[in-house]
Chains A and B, each alone.
Chain A
Amino acid sequence: MSSAAEVPAPARFRFEDSSLAIKLRQNVGLVTAIALFCVIYLLYHVAHPKGFSSAVLVQNGDEIFTLAMVAMAQTVPVLAAGLDLSVGALMTMVGCFASYLLSGAPEGTPINLDLGGLHLVLATLPGGTTGLIVGMILCLVIGTLAGLLNGCVVVFGRIQPIIATLATGAIYIGIALFLRPQPGGKIDDDLNWAMTNSLGDFASTVHIFNDGAAPWFAPLAWIPVPFVLIILIAALVWVPFRRSVTGRAVYAVGSAEGAAYMSGLPIERAKIAAFTLGGFFAGCGGLFLAIQTSSGNADLPQAGAYTLNSIASVVIGGTSLLGGSGGAIGSIFGAMILRVISFFFRIFDIAPLLQPLFEGIILLAAVSIGALRMLRVRNTLELFR
């Protein structure tokens, strides 16, 4: 039996030192974005006459999806300290391709190219569901290839990303305008209905889970498909990428390219991968927008708006425009915050011509919350970390 004096005093638990606290400190931008989103989204649902219903969630999911994807697309190059001005254009181009590839015609979709009197039959997509799936994969491949082109121009052309992507963006819009000089095209009605509704509608449209009537499925039937897709893409594409060597190299390039080079990290591979992955995400966005609108539209102002909003989402989501810190999950929340702000104009009575002013003020406030840490720095040097 030992006396109390011999027992070393147990170390007092301090929250600041726990691993959770460290994680929180490292991801303060992401945490702020999530908290802000939860507050304003809850407020929206409380104020909405049909709040917390599947219909409203579906409507919000449809509206958010494309911007969330484009914001993720912007995040990856930004993490490598490069800005991608082509995301909106890339998204638009993939949408225009989709409006040809996803018609879902039962006899199959022939792919023709008419160029200056030349009539080339490239291939024929099979009809039915197989054709639709092949078409969707083709769209994503096109987006990924365009992203790869961005990366190659930046790395091998040694051109500043912002200029390189300004140029490639013009090319993508050019292709989009060539494909769809006027808005139009056709996308399979049921594909549109299945992708832009709740899981229950999805199941009954594609005839799985006993047309969505399986008892185990009932508790899940209210979840909107777009939200499921966002989670799947984030979990299956972004998270593994971030954990890979290439993914970590992207962060390293963004925070100190020289140091990353001296450490022997694959810098070129990381940059190309960053733009390629961005192309894939933007392709997902373009594909969904085309499915949602059942058409392709080479809309120049819209492409520009998406590019600008993607940058705003990245910043609100806590990613530093200087690169090296943040992540795509934050950008998803950034995109959602950006959207939810405009939701309020539909519920509260705000003079229509004052709405852009309010939107700007709220946005500025949202971004400022992330900058609050400035008030707590003890040493100005900390700001440069």
Chain B
Amino acid sequence: MNWAVRISGLAFASLLLSSVAAFAGPKIVSGPGANPECFKPWSDKTKFFQWDKKPGPYRIALVNGFVGNTWRIQMVKTAKAFAEQPGIKENLKEFKVVSTGTDVAAQLGAMEDFINQGFDAIITIAVAPDGFDRIIRLADKNNVVVVPFDNILDTDKVMMVNEDQKEMGRMSAKWLIDESGKTSGDILEVRGLPGNSVDRDRHLGFREVMEAPGNKFNITEVVGNWDTGTSQKVTADALAVHGHFDGVFTQGGSDGTVRAMMDAKQPFVPMSGEGENEFRKQIMEHYKEGLKGMSYGQSPALVAIATKAAISALQGNVMPQLISIPIPVATYKTLKAGENYWPDLNANFFAPNQFLPCGVTFTAPEIMAQSEANK
């Protein structure tokens, strides 16, 4: 089959039909990239991209998938606030936000729509790690910068921004082993939303350390969808069946997991979980009773860094293909009131929200205090 040979003819035909600019896409160049404190390459092997410089200000769209949990709402609010910030606002002619739900066809359609509308960049949280080949092809053809973040794609053809999810899993496992001082026992793993890359990678990283030679853990796996209510329910179910766990790793909805343990009158055990303020409050209230907690944070402010990266790429700067953002970690030893958690605030939000090297200066309470109506 000589399909591959036909691509050139095909590209030509579609060129005539859709009357778009000639094929462009990013050039692969050698580093270092611009602003390395903020845009840190993932590893030594990370490629560098450079797009043709476009005159500003730019039209940028944020195509979110699923909406309806605290993290996504905080992310959308952060995106809106960041777009209004001096230094960013001047570069933006238009900043549009849509949420397409869990349906991949709708997300693909929305992205293609923005490409057709002539937007300069599209920032997105992909609903699946695969399936965006067509969009990448179209984006390259139309010189549109696509920046997936958070749930990124299994490809090296687009610029992406994320924290190292596997490392989060590994850190969580190490924490449980170090704090419990055991190499065997019963462990509860509360997983996230099935089917996307963040859930998968954290799980893989966690298992890599827990199942390393010498360890004999019996791991019970439940699905909490990163949601406080679901996580609380499945933890309660698991406790009802198993009775006791020596350690708990929860990917999200961490405060729900803790609440289920408290309701079941479980003795507190070492635990690792997400960056919810509520979870951090629980750690500080109960760490003396044994809730030796670690809280890593997938920050909703990733959206701000992705926006900044898109602008930087449009300005013609050299950018790493995969941008690594340091994981903000806090444990019961390092949590400080008013700094990385807020004991007086009851609203649920994700505590890590500042990334000073990237100019993301607002704290989580500042973001969540803004009402949508004022925007």
Contacts and interface: CB of A to CB of B under 8 A. Distances in A.
Interface in A341-363: 342-343, 345-347, 349, 351-356
Interface string A288-309: 0100111101111110011001
Nearest to B79: A352
A320 B194 CA distance: 34
B262 interface: no
A27 interface: no
B337 interface: no
Interface in A14-72: 48-50, 53-56, 59-60, 62-63, 65-67
A311 to B, nearest CB: 15
A134 to B, nearest CB: 14
A104 B116 contact: no
Given A53-B116, A302-B103, A346-B114, A198 B195 contact: no
Interface in B201-221: none
Interface stretch (B3-11, B23-31, B168-176, B235-243): B3-11
A285 B79 CA distance: 34
Nearest to B101: A305
B264 interface: no
A54 B19 CA distance: 10
Given A183-B130, A346-B113, A212 B13 contact: yes
Contacts of B97: 352
Interface stretch (A156-164, A184-192, A235-243, A267-275): A184-192
A294 B103 contact: no
B17 A221 contact: yes
A294 B102 contact: no
B372 interface: yes
Contact of A346 (B98, B128, B373): B98
Contacts of A63: 105-106, 108-109, 112
Contact of A54 (B18, B61, B133): B18
A188 B346 CA distance: 51
A292 B114 contact: no
Contacts of A197: 14
A374 B64 CA distance: 40
A75 B347 CA distance: 44
Interface string A169-210: 000000000000011110011101100111011001101000
Contacts of A342: 98, 100, 106, 110
A343 B111 CA distance: 11
Interface residues of A, number: 67
A250 B126 CA distance: 41
A211 B9 contact: yes
B13 A200 contact: yes
A116 B240 CA distance: 30
Interface in B47-105: 61-62, 64, 66-67, 73, 76, 80, 96-105
Given A201-B14, A204-B10, A305 B102 contact: yes
Given A59-B112, A211-B9, A300-B194, A353 B73 contact: yes
A221 B18 CA distance: 11
Contacts of A104: 1, 3
Contacts of A211: 9, 13
Interface residues of B, number: 56
Contact of A297 (B99, B104, B110): B104
A48 B14 contact: no
Contacts of B80: 352
Given A56-B113, A301-B193, A201 B103 contact: no
A248 interface: no
A292 B131 contact: yes
Nearest to A348: B96
A300 B223 CA distance: 12
Interface string B361-375: 000000000001101
Given A62-B105, A293-B104, A293-B108, A352 B99 contact: yes
Contacts of B101: 305
A305 B98 contact: no
B18 A300 contact: no
A175 B17 CA distance: 41
Nearest to A351: B372
A299 B195 contact: yes
Contact of B116 (A50, A188, A345, A356): A50
B117 interface: yes
A182 B131 CA distance: 13
A207 B3 CA distance: 10
Interface string A57-93: 0011011011100000000000000000000000000
A281 to B, nearest CB: 16
B316 interface: no
A56 B116 contact: yes
Max chain B C-beta neighbours (<10 A), residue from A50, A182, A205, A212: A182
Contacts of B116: 48-50, 53, 55-56, 59
B130 A201 contact: no
B133 A306 contact: no
Max chain B C-beta neighbours (<10 A), residue from A104, A184, A204: A204
A289 B104 contact: yes
B311 interface: no
B105 A189 contact: no
Contacts of A302: 102-104, 127, 195
A309 B372 CA distance: 28
B77 to A, nearest CB: 8
Nearest to B196: A183
B172 to A, nearest CB: 20
Interface in B321-375: 372-373, 375
Given A188-B3, A190-B6, A301-B66, A346 B134 contact: no
B130 A295 contact: yes
B32 interface: no
A127 interface: yes
A201 B10 contact: yes
A222 interface: yes
B229 interface: no
B262 to A, nearest CB: 29
A112 to B, nearest CB: 21
A215 interface: no
Given A185-B130, A190-B3, A292-B134, 6 more contacts: A63-B105, A63-B106, A201-B13, A293-B130, A302-B103, A355-B99
Interface of B: 1, 3, 6-7, 9-10, 13-14, 17-18, 20, 61-62, 64, 66-67, 73, 76, 80, 96-106, 108-110, 112-114, 116-118, 127-134, 154, 193-196, 200, 372-373, 375
What are the 9 A-B residue pairs with the smallest beta carbon separation, nearest first? A293-B131, A63-B109, A295-B130, A352-B97, A204-B13, A59-B112, A301-B102, A190-B3, A128-B1
